[in-house]
Amino acid sequence: MDNFWQHIKSPVFSLAPMEDVTDTVFREIVLGISAPAKLHVVFTEFTSVEGMNHPDGRERVSERLIVNDSERKLLTEKSVKLVAQIWGRNPEIYYKVAKYISENYHFDGLDINMGCPVKKVIKSGSCSALIGEPQLAQEIILATKEATQLPVSVKTRTGIKQHQTEEWIAHLLETEPAAIILHGRTQKMQSEGEASWEEIGKAVKIRNQMNPAIPIHGNGDVFSMAEGLQKVKETGVDGIMIGRGIFQNPWFFSPELEEVLQEERIRKLLKHTHLFEQTWGGIKNFNILKRFYKIYLNSFPGAAKLRADLMEAKDYEDVYRYFEVNYSVLSDLS
């Protein structure tokens, strides 16, 4: 299998894996409103290898790996790569699940989550807890690489309680992952404070010394494409991953677009609702949608009231009825 990380022209822009956010529906919306050649890689929500390995748990956990045909079409049209992100702490289970995903799904790569700082995940010894167990982390990467022909990347942080970037990144580079995506915060920082791009720059220097061929991508506090390009210039990273920046502006990957009008924002909200209902109706909680309503409904007069009104919606029909009564855009969900 082709290691696409080596062939995408730098700087690469990607959409971060985010829990209850980057499902097939939201990825499709973002793909649809991104300008050509501005978004290069998207990721699934992070998927438990233990869950995928459990005969009773697999069906539910594998929902995170669903890719709608309509999303697949856009991925192909826009030449965007799709990576499945996985997490856990047992190398043998990583091997089994990486093999299973490679043989039963159509992804362009696998990414190992060594960055999530959520307490209940840390207690299991997974994700950013692995920064404290570098030998186990290496075993996991090597086991995953052995199981699949897909390129295996790693997303991580700069340390646990304090930055330990050089030491930690050196451990990861020894396993020769396809790419390293580094969030410029420690586990302890969660999403607080300012992401340290100085630390990300240190990771690039270590990479340059140890293995210049491995791409390093930076993540943290980038809220515009221009800002991302500046970070590339300052630190030498090969790419930028966008996380919370997409909440401020779903049109992040259409930098030439100066203004998105109210009607267009409402159209996208309705399309998202419609796709979500088609994909997850009866499976996922309707209220998950409300976090997305907040990102579409801003930057125009009356947006705050509209947001407040929609927070009262109890189901899909409430949303459709609201816009049918108050606006004239419901008939076109494109």
* Residue positions annotated with a catalytic role: 116
Give the Cα separation of 96 and 107 in Å (integer): 16
Strands 180-183 and 152-157: parallel
Helix (H) or strand (E) holding 153: strand 152-157
Q: In sequence order, what DSSP letters do the residues of 39-78 get, joined into one string?
A: --EEEPPPEEHHHHHSTTTHHHHGGGG---HHHHHHHHHT
First vs last C-alpha separation in the chain: 35
DSSP secondary structure letter of residue 6: G
DSSP secondary structure letter of residue 178: S
Q: Which residues pair with 239 in a beta bridge?
A: 12, 217
Amino acid making up residue 215: P
- Exposed/middle/buried for residue 314 (C-beta within 10 Å: 0-12, 13-18, 19+): exposed
